[in-house]
Amino acid sequence: MVYIMFLFLLGVVFGLMAVASNPSPYFAALGLVVVAGMGCGMLAGYGGSFLSLVLFLIYLGGMLVVFAYSTALVADPYPESWGSRPIIVYMVLYGVVVVFSSSLFLGDWCEFSWAFVEEFEEFSVFRGDSAGVALMYSSGGWVLFVSALVLLLALFVVLELTRGLARGAIRAV
């Protein structure tokens, strides 16, 4: 299980490097989907299977909207892919930065972080994610409401910023 978690962490790092190094929104959106999948895999491995499924579905819905907006507004008919020279240079540079920064913090910090949720209590009736989701909906209902309002406000801000000079949905690009 430790090796699977290590592969998920490696996938998160490579996905973030792919997002940071690519100027094209097509491939950056794909890198964000990879990061979301690997992060949700890590959550599922640590015992949060329901939470990771809900997070992945909500994140994929949001990424679908972001991908639709970014592809509608980009005017690049031939985007740079991951095989082009500048992207490879950025990937190597980010890889060197990741290796150097991880060597600075190398130590015994990872020995205590591999415990799973079910290992903390021997005879627990609840799993870690079901009790957390129930607590989120009972005590944190107002936080969900405020988060929904903030997301709605962000949607209106993005729509206003991408509207441009035209007043309608169809405009000349």
What pLDDT, in 10s, does the model give residues 90-122? 889 988 998 888 888 776 666 555 555 555 556
**Residue 164 pLDDT greater than 80, yes or no:** no
| Domain residue extents for the chain | 2-126
**DSSP conformation class of 119:** G
Predicted pLDDT of residue 72: 73
Which one is predicted more confidently, 11 or 138? 11
* Burial tier of 5 (Cβ tally within 10 Å: 0-12, 13-18, 19+): middle
- Helical spans, DSSP H, in the chain: 2-21, 25-45, 49-73, 85-104, 128-138, 141-163
Q: What are phi and psi of 167, to 5 degrees?
A: -95, -10
Q: How large is the average pLDDT for residues 54-77?
A: 76
pLDDT at 121: 59
Per-residue model confidence as pLDDT tens digits over 23-55: 777 777 778 888 888 988 888 887 777 778 888
Over range 58-75, report the average pLDDT.
Answer: 75
Q: For 126, how many CA atoms within 13 A lie in the half-sphere containing its CB?
A: 10
